[in-house]
Amino acid sequence: MSKELLLDTTVAKEAKVEIKEDGKVLVTITKDSPLAAIEAALKKAGLKLKEIDSFSAKVGPGSYTGIRVGLAVTHALNFALGRKAKALEPKYQ
């Protein structure tokens, strides 16, 4: 069972986190900071950070600085836990 944490920091002063297991959304949380959102989502899902198999960040469209923050956070988590980094491509409608 693959667990993945998706981080969206493209909107100013807002961080959205989704935790998915095998493609099914378990938890969606929005907070004012990425770390608070990650902590709240993990707590709500009853998971520990080390149980997440991959961390991804949305890469746009949105705030340049927000995108960089999301990438920095997810790259740091992937590096610290020995996971491969990946980015979420935007889906245009």
pLDDT band at 36 (very low <50, low <70, confident <90, very high): very high
The CATH number linked to 33 is 3.30.420.40
Residue 22, amino acid: D
Tens digit of each residue's pLDDT (9 = 90 or more) over 47-85: 999 999 999 999 888 999 999 999 999 999 999 999 987
Give a yes or no: residue 87 inside a domain.
Answer: no
Give the chain's domain count: 1
Residue 13, amino acid: K
Question: What is the pTM assigned to this prediction?
Answer: 0.88
* Domain region containing 25: 3-82
**CA distance to 21, 42, 67, 87, per residue, from 74 (Å):** 18, 14, 11, 9
Give a yes or no: residue 93 inside a domain.
Answer: no
